[in-house]
Amino acid sequence: MTATYRARPSGPPHPAAVPTGAVVPAPRVAREGTRTTGRRLHPWAWWAWALLVAAAVSMTTNPLLVLLVAAAVVSVALLKRTDDLWARSLRVYLLLAAMVVLVRVVLQVLLGSDRPGTVLFTLPELPLPDWAAGIRVGGPVRAEFLLATVYDALRLGAMLLCVGAANALANPRRALRSVPSALHEVSVAVVIALTVAPQLVVSGVRAHHARRLRGGRTRGLRMVRTLLVPVLEDAVEQSMALAAGMEARGFGRTRPGTPRRLVGTLLLGSVVALTYGTFVLLGGAGALHGTGLPVWTGPVVLAAGVAAAAAGLWLSGRGAATTRYRPDPWRTPETLVALAGLAALLAVLWLGGELPVPSPLRPAWLNPPVEPLATPQLHPLMLVVPALAAVPVVAAPGPTRTHAARPHPTRPHRIEEPA
């Protein structure tokens, strides 16, 4: 037996059902749902900008410069993030960066060092057995080593903020659709892994709202214990649902391609070149001590490695076709954002004397010494680095916002008597 349902007719009532000359309201036509304004920047443009700025931060220990760059990165993330729940993950990275600084300082105060220096204060020393020789808990806390720990912890915290800004600005699921075809399998695993922090934030908000609806009033550590299991369970379920949905819909289905010797040669050579270039770039002049090679070979070989990797991935992707739904375009704002990060890195390399162009600064400006103690200084040219890191505030389009749609205005109409 099959039941048949007939929908009620919509629109104005039939003239026979309304007295002649009566004024009835017109049918209200409303826009259901919401409307979205703005445009999302390409996710890999945000990641390129964040990683390049993080590389620039890694080459200096000047706390003033590091704090300015961190402030610029956080400002970009706050001004350009969307209103999605996963965009709130920046708060998690802020807490993580603060925790890194605090833990590093506490460990330095507790463990300390036996080297001579200026003693700030002395803690009670804990006696240890003979097999723990060389380890000291407590004792004098020296200013030089404490200051060096603070500098290094601030640098690491700023690098974590760069990664957090990229996670808050770039949707990891959209980034999966823009990877080269040759890296499809790897990118699926990486992007799903990167969704852990944003998904934990979303799950935490849901669990907190559900707990408030049930009348939960516990606070502190007891609240954390009641929310921990639901948050982890929801995050795992969402990740599994994402993987199952992608597999069921044939997302990124590939067909095997034919291996080529040229592709293998390019990729292997790019790995060697990238390793050498990164080592020289991070190690500076001391990385090539005793080899006779100039420092400028690092950036040159690094650029050659990037070009070889791009060529190898392009050739490898030609043999494997992947399905893509509405790929994100790469336009002028994406190029400007990526170039801003590259310019910030080149500015730090130039100020540090790592490029063939002479630097107007002394090495102590970017890396202030702690033995002997010296006050960190901020040269006006160093302000170029945070200014370049903040370029996406102007270059990137406005964030996408969801607004409730307004209904059309309604006008009453008069039903006239038929002639």
Extract the residue ranges of the chain whose pLDDT is less than 50.
Answer: 1-34, 410, 413, 415
Write down the pLDDT at residue 31.
Answer: 44
Phi, psi for residue 85 in degrees, rounded to 5:
-70, -35
Task: Using the structure block, give the residue that is written with the tokens 């205005």.
Answer: 409
Q: Is the torsion defined by CA of 104, 110, 111, 114 positive or negative?
A: positive
pLDDT tens, residue by residue, 137-159:
877 788 888 888 899 999 999 99
Structure tokens at 205: 């908000």
Alpha helices per DSSP H over 42-142: 43-57, 63-80, 90-111
pLDDT for the residue numbered 365: 84
DSSP 264-284: HHHHHHHHHHHHHHHHHHHHG
Hey, how many other C-beta atoms are within 10 angstroms of the C-beta on 177? 19
At 309 the pLDDT is 84
- Identify the three-state secondary structure at position 135: coil
> pLDDT value at position 64?
94
